[in-house]
Structure 1
Amino acid sequence: MGEQRAKVITVGLQKGGVGKSTTSGVLAYFLSREKYKVLAVDMDSQGNLTDLLTQQDIEYFEEKTVLEAFEDGSVEDYIYRVNDYLHVVPSDDYLATLAKRLYTSDEMKYITDKNLGLAGILEPVIHDYDFIVIDTPPSLSEPMVNAICASDYVIILAESSKWAFTAVPRFIETVDMAKERVNPDLEVLGILKTMNDSRRADSKAFSELIKEEWPDLCFDVIIKRKPATGRIPMEGLFDNKELSSALEQ
């Protein structure tokens, strides 16, 4: 694919239940449908992105995950090929040990800057893809920080709730810190409002507050809370008859 580098996009917020894995999966899936070559990287030990895109139980990937890629120094041998355009680096529960292993494991001593481990293991394949999409855990932990530091862009998910609203500025602060100290090319691509229920006054109010606080960052698209969207993790993306309804805004 020549010498053009993949655009690396992290989807994140240090709060659970805002739709990070579903959004990461949908983004990777639709980019691949447009014939872009996409690598989806699961940096959440829950393995939800892995499950959504591969339709395999995460136990299938035991010892064949991003954690082992950290130990080996490259993701090359840990890529699961869904089809010609969509590939996945899976995760499982053991990714929760990444922080400890980064600082104590002999296999990871080669990683001198512990924030740049993921960037390093992606480098051997960075020219093989058009996009790399990274899903992240609901905490500002080593997997999240590694994802941010490896990225060109970050999409911030903001559920229309108080806890998500208060989490956004702390997340932006983390991104700014990574930009200042490690990755000067890093940019916030935008804030995507999710789980929005316009029928509820509190949801509508927080949606409006988010728009007022960050008017230049908010995407026009708002992900609505509806049954078809909630069933995406169960029905998947590839043969889901409700997919169009789930994503219609």
Structure 2
Amino acid sequence: MTKVITFAIQKGGVGKTMTSGVTAFLLAKQGHKVLAVDMDSQGNLTQFLSGSDNLLDFENETVLEAIKEGDAKKYIKVLDDNLHLLPTDDFLATIAHYLFTEHRGHRSLALKECLESVRDYYDYIIIDTPPALSEQTINSLGASTHVVVMFETSKFCYNAVPRFLDTVQAAKEKINPDLEIAGILRTLADAKRSDSKAMVDLIAEEYPDLVFDTVIQRRATTGRLPIYGLWENPESKKAFEYHGKFLKELIERVTKKAK
């Protein structure tokens, strides 16, 4: 069964794009068939995985057109044999207007409907989301089997976690009964800061059954991935160290929950 995993929380700067992009890339390197879906109109996942800084390269060939057509097939870009991309551009910001004025199906399941034709081809579909509880995020939850709750080790993100967990529960009850929480991922932790370590420990104390054991520490080599790329990067071993450990946990969790 295809695992559809959304990375989300209603806050920016928490490592959603980096984590979802590296996760998709590493899964593909392991031999899995992977589709990365960019549901953030900023288009950073599209830029990160494609290596193109110009979103105009994907004009009229994005996830927005796929949703409008109800079929993702012809909008998917092949990055390599195992890694494919459903890109985005700035016009995805207009999706709410489309869903409320023109869409004839369930507004919160439009993404799920457009992925149905390709879903069985992939082992994993990885979805990046914007830093808000928008139609993009709700549609991503509606299409997913699992969600990774992103927790950047700060007070504002700490405040956002329980609210987002409520959103996930509401999505499960109202639009997607198959949705499960894969876990809370602690990211961008800074070992040199006592407040960061305190947040790492606090979220583990409050949600002991949800947090991943792996903590994604701040690392310069990881921060440079968008500059040097994913494929031919001499720093990749160090850059992927924490994400590789997280990926092992993630696979174990989503596989276990599927049984």
TM-score (norm 2): 0.91
Per the alignment, residue 172 of structure 1 pairs with 165
Per the alignment, residue 85 of structure 1 pairs with 82
Q: CA-to-partner distance for each residue in 1:14-71, whole Å, 9 max, x for gaps?
A: 1111110110111100110111100000000011111111112211000100001111
Per the alignment, residue 48 of structure 2 pairs with 52
Distance 1:223 1:243 in 2: 15
Query: Which residue among 29, 32, 38 is the counterpart of 2:28?
Result: 32
Distance 1:216 1:184 in 2: 20
Distance 2:77 2:152 in 1: 31
Q: 1:234: how far off?
A: 1.6
Q: 1:100: how far off?
A: 1.1
Unaligned runs of 5+ in 2: 243-259
Q: CA-to-partner distance for each residue in 1:77-109, whole Å, 9 max, x for gaps?
A: 10000011000000011101111111113xx3x
TM-score (norm 1): 0.95
Q: What SS does the corresponding residue of 2:88 show, helix, strand or coil?
A: coil
- After TM superposition, the runs of 4+ consecutive aligned structure 1 residues lying more than 6 A away are none
Distance 1:241 1:185 in 2: 40
Amino acid of the structure 2 residue aligned with 1:88? L
Return the structure number with greater helix share. 2
Query: Which residue among 11, 14, 17 is the counterpart of 1:18?
Result: 14
Matched, 1:144 2:137: yes
Distance 1:248 1:127 in 2: 30
Distance 2:228 2:173 in 1: 41
Equivalent runs, 1:1-249 vs 2, <5 Å: 5-56=1-52, 57-105=54-102, 108=103, 110-111=104-105, 113-249=106-242
Distance 2:38 2:164 in 1: 19
Seq. identity, %: 51
Amino acid of the structure 2 residue aligned with 1:165? Y
Q: 1:248: how far off?
A: 2.2
Q: Name the count of aligned residue pairs.
A: 241
Per the alignment, residue 256 of structure 2 pairs with none
Distance 1:91 1:219 in 2: 29
Q: What SS does the corresponding residue of 1:127 show, helix, strand or coil?
A: helix
